[in-house]
Amino acid sequence: MAAPAHLWTLHHRVLTRVLRAAAPRLEELGLESKELFVLDEVDACRYPATIAQRLLIPKASVTVYVRNLVDKGLVVRAIDDDDLRRHRLATTEEGRRVLGEALEALSAEFAATTARLAPADRAELLRLLTELDRDD
């Protein structure tokens, strides 16, 4: 396997392992992993189309996740006063609580996974991933 493909495969496996380990806690909180990622973007992005663009997922998928989050009382949707054709999103107090607990669970699992790395290596991983995430 070519080195970039192998790197991608390893990265994907690590992230999948972390998500699987955190899944029971996410289920207790009433979230699917993709709903968690959408919920985490609501207050930063405010609009479903912006969330779709940021997460690189189809707008139709975001619509489904947002509908689920609204039904669960974690997000509210309102007509945007500046553009009556758009819906503006906001996280509810319960949504912020659930998001905080879900991110703690995900962080704990990722910390457990990366604990075998030396602190300098964890810092370097953060630096490298931050660099790769830039939108030049």
Is residue 64 in some structural domain? yes
Those residues whose C-beta lies under 8 Å from the C-beta of residue 35, and which sit 6 or more positions away, are: 65, 68, 69
Is residue 52 in some structural domain? yes
The count of structural domains within the chain is 1
Is residue 133 in some structural domain? no
Nearest to 100 by CA among 23, 51, 39: 39
| CATH, residue 45 | 1.10.10.10
Is residue 134 in some structural domain? no
pTM of the model: 0.85
Is residue 19 in some structural domain? yes
Is residue 13 in some structural domain? yes
Q: Cβ(34)–Cβ(102) under 8 Å?
A: no
Along the 136 residues of the chain, how does pLDDT read in single tens digits?
Answer: 678 888 889 999 999 999 999 999 999 999 999 999 999 999 999 999 999 999 999 999 999 999 999 999 999 998 877 777 778 899 999 999 999 999 999 999 999 999 999 999 999 999 998 998 887 6
Q: Which domain holds residue 18?
A: 3-126
